[in-house]
């Protein structure tokens, strides 16, 4: 059954995002591994020539910069890391361009920060640019813009795993393939004798979470926890993902041929619309609204809009049109949505019915605080 499922998932994916980590791109000395990157470029080209659309999300700028500057240990201060990334990104992109050219393909550099994917207009511009590059038969090579980002350079971000998931959801790609330095998700430490490779994950639960083993050291920053968080973003949007060993020979071609490599994570639930994907995964909340039990049930079970009468409290200063978190009284996030009222107005009308808005605010532009079409469950 798993064989057939995997073959169906890989065979039907027409748009694919491939993420490759620093430890795959570099050798033991920290140099860019030209043979491996060349093989990757050849495999990506073959996928593109088969009629599928493919996007590469790459790490490696900091690692390449460290090698160029003769550094053995990864610095910890942001300014130095940004400078190193600026040096390394040039080498990294030149390497990709040269190796893709050998196979008759053009590569395009796309550098992003979280801000571009947070802002709705910028988000759509990025999406349109990537789709146009694909229509031109160009392979987009996406990386975090480390020279202007801050959080992304900290060890908690996860080596572009989250970026790869966001790009997958932005494009509506049917498959995300994360190429790492491990064979996939194991039931324990990958090196332990009693640890087994998990072939297929159909749903995330406490057992799956308990399998996570984080590694330390080296040039990369993304452990298995980061990869599972990224995969979770993709499967909850209704798409599939694979984590496999990027050091395996012809790994990409073999995964797409349906070979039992790595761990397959199967889509959960129905496919989310592009609008709901942005609300849920890309937009950064500007505030938090706590709901009473009745409002929680109406939103989660009834698919209803949020009404002011169900608001218990709110935190933060936000404007009309901002994205906010919706939480229960215990602080658990239930949904995210686009608010029709700013925080000052909500402080005045929370707990009231919409027919009272005119008297309280002098106007009633909306009956709902957040319309159900502008709300995404988490």
Compare 31 and 325 and report the one with higher pLDDT.
325
- Rg from Cα positions in the chain: 22
> Residue 91's closest CA among 70, 130, 62?
62
CATH 2.30.130.10 fits 285-377, yes or no: yes
254 phi and psi angles, rounded to 5 deg: -70, -40
The H-assigned helical ranges of the chain are: 2-12, 22-25, 34-49, 61-68, 78-101, 114-118, 120-135, 161-171, 206-210, 224-236, 251-256, 274-277, 293-300, 343-349, 357-361
Highest mean pLDDT, choosing among 58-67, 82-91, 334-343 = 334-343
pLDDT in tens, 208-261: 888 885 544 444 445 788 899 999 999 999 999 999 999 999 999 999 999 999
* pLDDT tens digits, one per residue of 140-167: 999 988 777 765 444 333 458 999 999 9
Say yes or no to pLDDT of 68 above 60: yes
Average pLDDT, the chain: 91
Both tokens assigned to 289: 């609204």
What is the reported pLDDT for 219?
A: 47
pLDDT confidence of residue 113: 86
- Asked which of 169-173, 219-223, 325-329, 368-372 is least confident by mean pLDDT, the reply is 219-223
39 pLDDT more than 60: yes
Instruction: Identify the burial level of 118 via C-beta atoms within 10 angstroms of its C-beta, where 0-12 means exposed, 13-18 middle and 19 or more buried.
Output: middle
Quick one: pLDDT band at residue 77, thresholds 50, 70, 90?
A: confident
For residues 352 and 309, the answer to whether their CB atoms sit within 8 Å is: yes
For residue range 182-218, what is the model confidence (pLDDT) as tens digits? 999 999 888 888 889 999 999 888 888 888 855 444 4
Let me know the angle formed at the C-alpha of 166 by 176 and 23, rounded to the nearest 5 degrees: 60
Domain 2-276 has CATH 3.40.50.880: no
Residue 30, pLDDT score: 79
Query: Does residue 20 sit in helix, strand or coil?
Result: strand
Per-residue confidence (pLDDT) for residue 76, from 0 to 100: 84
Q: Within 13 Å and on the Cβ side, how many CA atoms surround 325?
A: 18
Question: For 267, how many CA atoms within 13 A lie in the half-sphere containing its CB?
Answer: 21
Q: What is the pLDDT of residue 150?
A: 61
What are the tokens at 38?
């060349």
Report the 10 Å Cβ neighbour count for 187: 16
| This prediction's pTM | 0.91
User: So where are the chain's domains?
Assistant: 2-276, 285-377
């Amino acid at each position: 059954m798993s064989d057939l499922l995997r073959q169906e998932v890989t065979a039907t994916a027409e748009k694919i995002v491939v993420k490759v980590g620093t430890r795959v791109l570099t050798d033991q000395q920290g140099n860019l591994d030209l043979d491996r990157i060349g093989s990757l470029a050849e495999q990506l080209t073959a996928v593109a020539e088969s009629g599928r659309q493919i996007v590469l999300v790459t790490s490696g700028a900091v690692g390449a910069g460290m090698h160029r500057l003769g550094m053995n240990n990864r610095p910890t201060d942001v300014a130095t890391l940004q400078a190193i990334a600026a040096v390394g990104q040039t080498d990294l992109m030149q390497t990709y361009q040269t190796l893709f050219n050998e196979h008759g393909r053009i590569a395009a550099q796309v550098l992003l920060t979280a801000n571009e994917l947070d802002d709705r207009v910028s988000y759509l511009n990025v999406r349109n640019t990537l789709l146009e590059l694909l229509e031109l038969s160009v392979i987009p090579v996406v990386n975090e813009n480390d020279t202007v980002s801050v959080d992304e350079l900290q060890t908690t971000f996860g080596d572009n795993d989250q970026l790869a998931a966001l790009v997958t959801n932005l494009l509506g790609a049917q498959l995300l393939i994360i190429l790492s330095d491990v064979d996939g998700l194991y039931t324990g430490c990958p090196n332990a004798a009693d640890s087994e490779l998990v072939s297929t994950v159909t749903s995330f639960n406490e057992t799956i979470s308990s399998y996570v083993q984080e590694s330390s050291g080296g040039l990369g920053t993304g452990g298995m926890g980061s990869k599972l968080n990224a995969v979770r973003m993709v499967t909850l949007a209704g798409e599939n993902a694979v984590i496999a060993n990027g050091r395996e020979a012809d790994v990409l071609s073999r995964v797409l041929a349906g070979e039992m490599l790595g761990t397959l994570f199967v889509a959960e639930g129905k496919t989310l619309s592009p609008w709901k994907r942005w609300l849920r995964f890309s937009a950064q909340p500007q505030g938090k609204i706590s709901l009473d039990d009745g409002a929680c049930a109406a939103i989660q079970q009834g698919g209803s809009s949020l009404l002011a009468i169900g608001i218990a409290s709110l935190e933060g200063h936000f404007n009309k049109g901002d994205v906010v978190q919706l939480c229960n009284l215990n602080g658990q996030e239930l949904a995210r949505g686009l608010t029709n009222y700013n925080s000052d107005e909500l402080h005045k009308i929370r707990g009231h019915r919409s027919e009272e808005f005119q008297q309280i605010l002098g106007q009633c532009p909306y009956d709902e605080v957040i319309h159900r079409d502008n709300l995404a469950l988490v």
